[in-house]
Amino acid sequence: MVVNAEPRCKKLGVVEGVGGNADSARVDALERAAERGATHARLEPAHPDLEDGMTIVVTGTVFACPSSDEAFPPDGYR
């Protein structure tokens, strides 16, 4: 049996979203992630910007993953 052990997802990096509240900051982060071709994002909890205290910031790591029908079953597994 041959199984492809390569990681399924490619890490694209970090994304940051800003807004007037947590929801708008999260939406901004997801829109920026989509612009970079991300299919998945792991966002951290929202926190206030330490410089101005009025803006809310959401940061997270974004990934590009193949759709499930492309990833399984692995080549050579059938």
Q: What is the pLDDT of residues 50-62, one digit of tens each?
A: 888 789 999 999 9
In a domain, 53, yes or no: yes
Residue 48 maps to a domain: yes
- CA–CA gap between residue 67 and residue 60 (Å, rounded): 21
- Assigned domain for 5 exists: no
Q: Is 17 helix (H, G, I), strand (E, B) or coil?
A: strand
Tell me, what's the pLDDT at 68?
Answer: 66
SS3 label, residue 59: strand
Residue 24: give its domain's CATH number.
Answer: 3.30.1660
Position 67 scores a pLDDT of 75
CA distance linking residue 40 with residue 68, whole number of Å: 13
Whole-prediction pTM: 0.74
Can you list the alpha helix ranges (DSSP code H) found in 12-77? 22-35, 68-71
d(CA 74, CA 69): 10
Domain annotation covers residue 67: yes
> Is residue 73 very low, low, confident or very high in pLDDT (cuts 50, 70, 90)?
low
Lookup result for tokens 């792991």: 42
Q: Is 25 inside a domain boundary?
A: yes
Q: 3-40 pLDDT, tens per residue?
A: 555 668 899 999 999 999 999 999 999 999 999 999 99
**How many domains, the chain?**
1
Instruction: Give the range of the structural domain holding residue 58, as residue numbers without chain letter.
Output: 10-71
In this prediction, residue 66 has a pLDDT band, given cuts at 50, 70 and 90, of confident
